[in-house]
Chains A and B, each alone.
Chain A
Amino acid sequence: MIDIKDLRKSFEDHEVLKGINLHINPKEVVVIIGPSGSGKSTLLRCMNMLEEPTSGKVVVDGIELNGEANINKAREEIGMVFQRFNLFPHMTVLQNITLAPMKVRKISKEEAEKTAMELLNQVGLADKAGAYPPQLSGGQQQRVAIARALAMKPKVMLFDEPTSALDPEMVKEVLDVMKSLADKGMTMAIVTHEMGFAREVGDRLLFVDEGQIIEQGPPKEVFDNPKEERTRLFFSKIL
């Protein structure tokens, strides 16, 4: 589903990604962990070209991400959820969700609203359709943001620390939505610090440090038996 070959990214003369190779299969849930500043967000953002790689190749759903047209096309298939939600504050929840399907997929308003209501039901927020984002709690906003991404019927979902900006009591409601997505067979790449979630929901765990994938494998194996010294060091700091 996602194929990354020798991906490099530098900001000025600071190399943040140092040759990443990664293949994500359909329906696979890949969880990315690593220290702050290791390049996790940058890697994720290269998967939909919010960050333009310095070199290397990214292919999503058979579309190589190069050139404006290809990138826009691929983005229709890639949903993204941000740490800070990034909902559109001047629009109602319903408008937030229906905008892109109507403008990009050219779906009628009725159909877009029907899908939006189904999705809001799914994330448990059907009663908030008419609310504006600033009126919602962080957890509710993030669930709306997930619904907004899903409304495009993407084939892949990218999550960049979706619960890091939330109060502790709201983390679970968002993780539950993500877990049910995984159960439904969505392909997902998730950057997170929620190790319990990574262990439970992830098919594969990726440990990234200093712009490189240091170690990867089934979460339980990596957590219980890290092979690399750096992975062990990281776990000893956080667990």
Chain B
Amino acid sequence: MSFNFDLVIQSFPLLLLGAGITIKITALSVGLGMIIGMFVGIARISHVTPLRMLAAVYIDFLRGTPLLVQIFLIYFALPLMLDQRVDPFVAAITACGINSGAYVAEIFRAGIQAIDKGQMEAGRSLGMTWVQTMRYIIVPQAFKNIVPPLGNEFIALLKDSSLVSVIGFEELTRRGQLIIARTYGSLEIWLSVAVIYLVMTLAISRLVAYMEKRLKTS
């Protein structure tokens, strides 16, 4: 067995483009996941029972079924219902974002519940509503608590985003597959792909550690 280093060098620019797309869908998905997760997480602890139950169902369904199946549901099953083709990019971000939303919701819930309950009491005793107190007092403080777990979620999703390769969306993993189909360089390409993922996840965890430190001192 021989290792074709030239193949690695030749393929690298293409793989890097794929890595860029991986980062893009991860960032967009986590962004969508954060918006969904914030609302679902707050709904999860609200005093409105139907809202709380709805949030619980959302979280259970998305955490209790494989992301791959969720991707298939959105890319293959949803078009049958809508009678309209779904763009792979839209499907990828929707599936990952909705999925991430469930995990972020739990992160938010934990972050909010970690805030001393005297904070809510102080806000309410001043005449602010539950929503106002959440918005101005609780959630801003919860954000500080949730930077580390959100960073982990970002890393998890960055890796899981490789699953969208199955619907033909050309992120890093799919690019690797396509190059291998042409060159048969399984060893070289999968190793390269793995190294690129590793570099990205290490970079993110460094960035999160740095942000955590900055937040602690502020």
Partners in one complex: yes
Q: Which A residues are within 8 Å of any B CB, using their own CB?
A: 48, 50, 72-73, 75-76, 78-80, 82, 84, 86-90, 99-100, 103-104, 148-149, 152
Q: Which residues of A contact B128 (CB under 8 A)?
A: 99-100, 103-104
Size class of B's contact patch?
Answer: 10 to 19
**Distance in angstroms between the alpha carbons of A230 and B137 in the assembled complex:** 43
Q: Which residues of A contact B181 (CB under 8 A)?
A: none
Report the 3 A-B pairs with minimum CB-CB distance, sorted nearest first: A100-B126, A86-B122, A76-B127
Listed by A's residue number, 18 A-B pairs whose Cβ atoms lie within 8 Å are: A50-B121, A50-B124, A73-B127, A75-B126, A82-B122, A86-B118, A86-B121, A86-B122, A87-B122, A88-B137, A89-B141, A99-B126, A99-B136, A99-B137, A100-B128, A103-B132, A104-B126, A104-B128
Smallest Cβ-Cβ distance to B125: which chain A residue = A80
**Distance in angstroms between the alpha carbons of A9 and B180 in the assembled complex:** 72
Q: Are A88 and B119 in contact (CB under 8 A)?
A: yes
Q: Are B125 and A48 in contact (CB under 8 A)?
A: yes
Q: Are A104 and B127 in contact (CB under 8 A)?
A: yes
Smallest Cβ-Cβ distance to A148: which chain B residue = B126
Smallest Cβ-Cβ distance to A80: which chain B residue = B125
Q: Which B residues are within 8 Å of any A CB, using their own CB?
A: 116, 118-119, 121-129, 132, 136-137, 140-141, 144
Q: Are A149 and B126 in contact (CB under 8 A)?
A: yes
Q: Which residues of A contact B129 (CB under 8 A)?
A: 72
Which one, A75, A88, A90, contacts B124 given CB within 8 A? A75
Q: Are A75 and B118 in contact (CB under 8 A)?
A: no
Smallest Cβ-Cβ distance to B126: which chain A residue = A100
Q: Which residues of A contact B118 (CB under 8 A)?
A: 82, 84, 86
**Distance in angstroms between the alpha carbons of A47 and B124 in the assembled complex:** 13
**Distance in angstroms between the alpha carbons of A76 and B144 in the assembled complex:** 30
Q: Are A75 and B141 in contact (CB under 8 A)?
A: no
Q: Are A86 and B119 in contact (CB under 8 A)?
A: yes
